Structure 1
Amino acid sequence: MFDWKSIVRPNGKPFCALTAGLAVFLTFVFLLEQAVSLEDRMKLSPNHIFNLARLSNYPLVHLSWLHLFFNLFSLMGPLNLFESQHGTVYTGVVLNLTAIFAGLLYCVVGKLLYPDESVAGASGWFFTFVGYFSWKASLATPRTQLLQTPYHFPTALSPLILLLLITLFVPSASFWGHLSGLTIGYAIGSNEKAFGKLSPPSWLIKKVENKLDIYIQKIPPFVKYYREVEVEDTDRTDYSWLFEPHVSLPLHNDPPQQTHGSGRVLGTA
């Protein structure tokens, strides 16, 4: 069902630097929280719609070891794959922007439906990347087989099954937080070119990386830093996806072609 090898070690290369670093940082933040209360300062509620710090940082705080473990376990695979295809710096920008956009969406809807609830945790990112990859995969494979059954369902909607299962079996999980992240993932997947205009231009990323080359070279060899120059010509048509290990996709969004705490937990998937 899962092509873990190509997800964890894309192209047979080491784990991505930002993905590995994020796992370490999230663990550090959780340990710090045991000494200094961060939850009340970082979790996001609809009343914080204009608080940029909370909009950016709510994915960093977790409410328990179990919450942290499941979020890391689920996020590392899709984030690692995305970083290997898009570059380390660009992926960092995407993490920040998607947190803000999903947070804004959560707050806007929450003003009407759940004004007193709050969310925290990195699983919103997980749903963003799963939504992104499932949308891309749907361009080549509109319908996907459900495990080994004779049943098929729309590929792009497959994350909704996961969303409903988590909501059913993990009552403390934030349905609306997950749905907000998933919606942003769909939006990026359906118009990645427009979203890319919000990030620094490629030439600027290259210039910064050239300036910081001496520090980049000091990154341990057991992780891989993906420079902009390495990924600008990367073939992003071959996706390792949740249900289809090898899905060939068009580079652009063309029509499908016949080719081969007191807060709510933002997920524990």
Structure 2
Amino acid sequence: MPMLQGFNTLRARSYSFRLPLFTRAMVVVMVAFWLAGLQSVWDIQQWGALIPDELTITTMYRVNTFPLIHLNFFHALFNILALAPLLDRFETEFGTLTSLALFFGPLTTIPALVYIFLEKFILRGNTAVMGASIWVFLLLGAEAIRTFKTNPYLMIGTYHIPTWTTPLAMVLVVEALIPNTSFLGHLCGVGTGYLFGLGYLKFLSPPEKALRWIESRLNLLGRLPHYISVDQKIYGRFGVLPTTNPTSSSTPLVLIGSSQRLGP
């Protein structure tokens, strides 16, 4: 048992050292926000959570801060464990600057604004959400669409389950097993991931010409360790092309975190 524990610790440490820059930075920021929340002078959860009635022109920062803030240690831990491998894969495919632009742009603001609209104007509620699980389900949604293109169905006995439905099943499982999760927030994340996976949001991605100019002008690849340039990414910019083997791809099963409610 001690050898097994040492092996797992060694592997985890090795993996954490190989994380690309943006993924690494997001983990560090989430941990920093959790540590900042331990003090009682400043209510960081109230400051950064996505609260429908609190969203005004001066508080629009909430649509970008809420995935970085968590309710407690376990909430942060589970979300980080779920997010890191998915965000690592995304950044490796698209590059560091593209990941930064998308996750502090449309891939966060779109599900946030959709959630605000549905919660405030349709459901007439004011339930606050926070946590990186909206990113987890967004990335799972995009991954499910990619998997569906190469492996449309998951065989369970005599049933053919469309692989694009796996994130929806995970949303239901998380809602059933973990209390105080935001079912609506998770659905908004999955829906945005579907749109991204289908290519409907690719026009919002920054142009490669501009990214190359920034990278060369600032010499980011030479100055920043673990940085992934536009030309270093290992797949096509908007995903992996379908292969000839329809059974070669599957959606990875990962530990899923949860978005915690602050409201009643």
Q: TM-score range by the shorter chain?
A: 0.7 to 0.9
| Residue 76 (str. 1) matches residue 84 (str. 2) | yes
Partner of residue 129 from structure 1, selected from 139, 150, 154: 139
Which deviations, in whole Å up to 9, do the C-alpha atoms of 1:47-80 show, x marking residues without a partner? 2454421111111110000000010011111111
Specify the SS of the correspondent of 1:44: coil
Structure 2: where are the runs of 5+ without partners?
A: 1-11, 251-258
On the 8 A contact 1:27/1:68 being kept in 2, the answer is yes
Match of 1:116 among 118, 126, 150: 126
Deviation at 1:171, TM superposition (A): 1.8
Match of 1:16 in 2: 20
- Structure 1 CA distance for aligned equivalents of residues 159 and 185 of structure 2: 29
Measure, in 2, the Cα distance between the counterparts of 1:64 and 1:138: 35
For residues 164-186 of structure 1, the C-alpha deviation after alignment (integer angstroms, 9 at most, x for no partner) is: 01000112111011111111001
Residue-by-residue CA offset, 1:160-213 (whole Å, 9 max, x unaligned): 1110010001121110111111110011111x2x42222321111111111221
Question: C-alpha offsets along residues 11-59 of structure 1, whole Å, 9 cap, x if unaligned?
Answer: xx93221111111111011111223321111111222454421111111
- Aligned partner of 1:4 in structure 2 is none
Aligned length: 228
SS of the equivalent of 1:15 reads coil
Quick check: 1:168 aligned with 2:170?
no
Tell me if the contact between 1:49 and 1:104 (Cα under 8 Å) persists in the aligned partners. no
What is the CA-CA distance between 1:151 and the residue it aligns to? 4.3
Aligned residue among 16, 22, 29 for 1:25: 29
Residue pair 1:49, 1:108 contacting (<8 A) in 2 also: no
Task: Provide the TM-score with structure 1 as the length reference.
Answer: 0.77
- Match for 1:237 among 230, 235, 240? 240
Amino acid at match of 2:205: S
Inter-partner Cα distance in structure 1 for 2:222 and 2:61: 31
Q: Which residue type is aligned with residue 231 of structure 2?
A: V
Q: Distance in 2 between matches of 1:145 and 1:76?
A: 28
Shift of 1:150: 5.5
Contact 1:143 1:154 (C-alpha < 8 Å) held by counterparts: yes
Q: CA deviation at 1:134?
A: 0.2
Q: What is the alpha-carbon root mean square deviation over aligned residues?
A: 2.5
TM-score (norm 2): 0.78
> What does residue 9 of structure 2 align with?
none
CA distance in 2, matches of 1:155, 1:233: 21
Query: Percent identity at matched positions?
Result: 25
Q: Distance in 2 between matches of 1:40 and 1:245?
A: 46
Q: Which residue of the partner structure matches residue 46 of structure 2?
A: 40
Aligned residue in 2 for 1:155: 163
